Structure 1
């Protein structure tokens, strides 16, 4: 199977010029580990398994685990209302919004980047320069005074702002900066020694620059396309091996008790696709009534990311790319072979 998967990925890469790293593991055995392209094109530094990649919305799962840890510790409940656990003002938000609603994208609140009406993430930073966005509070003016988009629990609507609020709740309850909490209570516990929430203007070594390619062959990096520092809705940097360690820690109840791990992995709400559901911070796909995979993904300018755990055969896949597209094709290629 190793050579079959690798050959398939090489074929896909030759077609879409995928840039990034791929890791596929079954239990503790490596089925495929391969990298393509450059972490730094100007200096021609190649991507490798040690390269740190931005994963955009892929890290919403970290935020949901942090919330579940605080619930497990008795500091919150899933039915705690937003109005009762944050000091900030949201004059137009429904008073019945709970943490559960925020976790499952059913709160109905406005989003600062609404993927139903906006295509270009860069549009956000014309009036709100990205170099001012370094803390979770910096995101609030982008949405806190807007009207509700839908009624509470009316429908699933993928929402980045909801996860900013969850991160602020983590900060207020734990009395730690969000990134500090995640690094201490998730990354360290999982052995993710190369992962973190880094700032674009002080990136550590082995961090890939994100690239935005144009049809005429020119390109630019994404340093002016994203907030300086990512937040609780997206923006962590990981290696493919760290993500594999993360899945191991999650499904083996090392980050949460078995009871609360089950809550993370429970399909609470159907998404906008058939056989697709959302748990707490991750997507769940079913074949008939059987869960086929748990997965996370993230897309930003210069970032594409997919990672999944397939419970039936204990396979984990991680696809990190420092281009805006490409990770999905690689994931589908892997799934066709496993």
Structure 2
């Protein structure tokens, strides 16, 4: 069984030149742990299990958990309004926007990078130099004075700015910088000893550089394509083993209590026929059966997918330091895993 999964990954990698690490664990057994490509092409340093990869929007779930922790402490509630939770003025925003709506992408606020109208994240930094974006408040001028995109609660609209606001709420409620809060209350608690929010101009060891490949065969790194340091909407660096530890901590209620974990993993809004969104997490369902909880992230030079399958307890992590490739690897692994489960709809 394991041999079939690895063979599938090898075949996919040879077709798309996947660069990164794929990891699958079931309870205490590691089923897959394979790496391809280079963390640093110029120095020919290979990707490995302990390589730290950027995960882009994959870390919106960390932000949602931080919010839930503050709810558990009684410092905020899901019904708290943006106006009452954050001492920042938004002249054109609806005053009834709640934390729940920010978590579920249903607030209706404008985004600083609107994926419905923009294709290339790099375009954002032409007039807003990325080296000025080092903390959450640096994002505010990109959307603070814009008009609402839609009415509050009208529809799901994937929204990075909403998660920037959640990060600012976390900072105000906790008294800590967002990245320090996550490091202390999520990464440390979950045993994610190699994960963090690292600045591009002061990266630690074993970090994979993100690569953007051009059609003519040339390439560049993504250091001028993203903010200098990630925050509450994305940009943490993790290892595949740390992400597996994260899922274990979440489902065993070590990060938030059982009631709040259930609320976090509840399908609060429907996105497509079988796709739903909880708090910072995507949920795939077949009828009333939950197939998987999953997170994903895409940036220039970054592609990432990770999932937990509740019926089988598999934990899957695919990290790549290229702009695409993780999705195909994840699909291939899921195809092989489905062959060994009793219910083919659970993968």
Classify the TM-score, shorter chain.
over 0.9
Asked whether 1:214 is paired with 2:214, we answer: yes
Matched residue, 1:4: 4
Deviation at 1:15, TM superposition (A): 0.2
Deviations for 1:292-336, whole angstroms, at most 9, x for unmatched residues? 000000000000000000001000000000000000000100110
Deviation at 1:287, TM superposition (A): 1.2
Matched residue, 1:116: 116
Deviation at 1:270, TM superposition (A): 0.1
**Residues 191-230 of structure 1 mapped to structure 2, 5 A cutoff:** 191-230=191-230
Gapped regions of structure 2 (runs ≥ 5): 338-347
Matched residue, 1:275: 274
CA distance in structure 1 between the partners assigned to 2:129 and 2:17 by the alignment: 31
Matched residue, 2:265: 265
Matched residue, 1:231: 231
Matched residue, 1:168: 168
Asked whether 1:96 is paired with 2:96, we answer: yes
Matched residue, 1:132: 132
Deviation at 1:274, TM superposition (A): 1.4
What SS class does the counterpart of residue 12 from structure 2 fall into? helix
Asked whether 1:305 is paired with 2:304, we answer: yes
Deviations for 1:60-104, whole angstroms, at most 9, x for unmatched residues? 000000000000000000000000111111000000000000000
CA distance in structure 1 between the partners assigned to 2:280 and 2:205 by the alignment: 29
CA distance in structure 1 between the partners assigned to 2:87 and 2:235 by the alignment: 24
Deviation at 1:204, TM superposition (A): 0.3
Matched residue, 2:247: 247
What SS class does the counterpart of residue 32 from structure 2 fall into? strand
Asked whether 1:285 is paired with 2:270, we answer: no
Matched residue, 2:77: 77
Structure 2-normalised TM-score? 0.97
CA distance in structure 1 between the partners assigned to 2:283 and 2:89 by the alignment: 33
Structure 1-normalised TM-score? 0.99
Structure 1 vs Structure 2 CA RMSD:
0.4
What SS class does the counterpart of residue 205 from structure 2 fall into? coil
Gapped regions of structure 1 (runs ≥ 5): none
CA distance in structure 1 between the partners assigned to 2:219 and 2:273 by the alignment: 36
CA distance in structure 1 between the partners assigned to 2:267 and 2:106 by the alignment: 13
Matched residue, 1:319: 318
Matched residue, 2:46: 46
